[in-house]
Homo-oligomer: A and B are copies of this chain.
Amino acid sequence: MGKGRLEAFSDGVMAIIITIMVLELKVPHGATFAALMPLIPVFLSYILSFIYLAIYWNNHHHLLQAVRHVNGRILWANVHLLFWLSLILFVTAWMGENQFARLPVALYGTVLLFCAIAYLILTIMLIAHHGKESELAIAIGRDFKGKISLGFYVLGILLSFVNSWVACGIYAVVAAIWLIPDRRIERTLGSENLSNK
């Protein structure tokens, strides 16, 4: 089974999530700096989530490049990932509108955690389908970044009840770790022409 429509559908959903998130920046009535002030936390949460969604799109892009064929279980693992990514919209808005209060920050981290778990499941399904000796499996390797992220999210969720800014700092650190694109796959596949879309 081809991967073309899986990529197209995922690109569509991720493009929509990342774009309609900006609608949460509700236009203020006044035309003054003072009217913009209450939007600052919403804007900060928008930036963080924009980066996270871009990371997921980027990694998804890299991951799917190494994929040769998909099956029904992989389609569902991908839909499962998109489900959790769609909830980023909700928790971003809730966190921003409540000035990074504890419970919204904890829920934000929880959704990030489930996104990461869903991505891990997708990776596992793909390796199971391609074989442990496949280019894909070698490219992903031990997935150190993926596993350490899970730990950071749990830490962030727990710390959010102590100090929500520390939790946000941890989420930002994880984003920074991932901002570096998945060079493992890029390196392994580097010598091949993968532009045969």
Contact = CB atoms under 8 A, between A and B. Distances in A.
A16 interface: yes
A126 B32 CA distance: 39
Interface stretch (A5-13, A138-146, A148-156, A167-175): A5-13
Nearest to A94: B27
Contact of A72 (B29, B101, B181): B181
B15 A83 contact: no
Interface string A54-74: 100110010011001101100
Contacts of A9: 11, 14-15, 57, 61
Interface stretch (A85-93, A113-121, A129-137): A85-93
Interface residues of A, number: 68
Interface string A1-33: 111111111011111111110111101111111
Given A31-B98, A31-B104, A33-B103, A71 B5 contact: no
Contacts of A37: none
A183 interface: yes
A124 interface: no
Contacts of A6: 61
In the A-B complex, list the 5 residue pairs whose CB atoms are closest, starting with the nearest: A72-B181, A12-B15, A2-B195, A4-B197, A31-B101
Interface of A: 1-9, 11-20, 22-25, 27-33, 47, 50, 54, 57-58, 61, 64-65, 68-69, 71-72, 75-76, 79, 82-83, 86-87, 89-90, 93-94, 97-98, 101-104, 179-181, 183, 186, 194-197
